[in-house]
Amino acid sequence: MFILNSAIMNKKKYLFILFLGLFTQAQSPLPSIELKTLSGQFINTNQIAQENQLMIISLWATWCVPCKNELDAVAEVYEDWVSETDVKYFAISIDDSRTSKRIKPMVDGKGWEFEILLDENSELKRAFGVSTVPYTVIVKNGLMVYKHTGYTPGYEDELYEQILKFSQ
């Protein structure tokens, strides 16, 4: 137990874990986090993962310009994505009380047709270990098989290639 008393040893141990992780592409299960629907009902991430074999989770916020660009771009092609791959897209807002009241009018105003859920105190964002949005995860059979941070114009095409790969 001398290890516990030595900060340096701990440090080395953690760095070692980190190092090992760098060389591996883990397929972790989607963390179990409680989210809310736009009408205030609870819904767990496990529940949506059970109901949807292939889905995309995209963390966004009303104040994030690249996020809105991504969602606008996805909205334009979403119908084709669904009919070709049966994928379901969940745009999960991390807006807190400062901006959360804008979500519903914004989503309807823009006419986005994918699912919108709320992560009001960033529990899912923290569980993903993310500090910036947008952040996109493809979940297949409850496992996180692909992750991506940020959005650049045209990235939706690359995301779709990944979806095609996992839809087979």
Site for another protein in 48-107 (CB under 8 A): 62-65, 69, 72, 96-102, 104-107
Residue 26 or 168: which CB sits closer to another protein? 26
Tell me if residue 128 falls in helix, strand or coil: helix
Of 44, 59, 28, which Cα lies nearest the Cα of 141?
A: 28
**Residue 105 or 164 having the CB closest to another protein:** 105
* 165 in contact with another protein (CB under 8 A): no
CA–CA separation, 32 and 58 (whole Å): 16
Residues in region 100-119 near another protein by CB under 8 A: 100-102, 104-111
Query: Smallest distance, Å, CB 115 to another protein?
Result: 15
Residue 166 as a binder of another protein (CB under 8 A): the answer is no
- Report, in Å, the least distance between residue 167 CB and another protein: 19
Contact segment (CB under 8 A) with another protein among 23-31, 52-60, 82-90 equals 23-31
Residue 141's CB is within 10 A of a number of other CB atoms, namely 14
DSSP conformation letters of 32-80: --EEEETTS-EEEHHHHHHH-SEEEEEEE-TT-HHHHHHHHHHHHHHHH
Q: Work out how close the CB of 51 gets to another protein at its nearest, in angstroms, rounded to a whole number.
A: 15
CA angle 145, 150, 152 (to 5 degrees): 115
**Distance of closest approach, residue 86 Cβ to another protein, in angstroms:** 23
Using DSSP bridges, classify how beta strands 42-44 and 54-60 pair: parallel, antiparallel or unpaired. unpaired
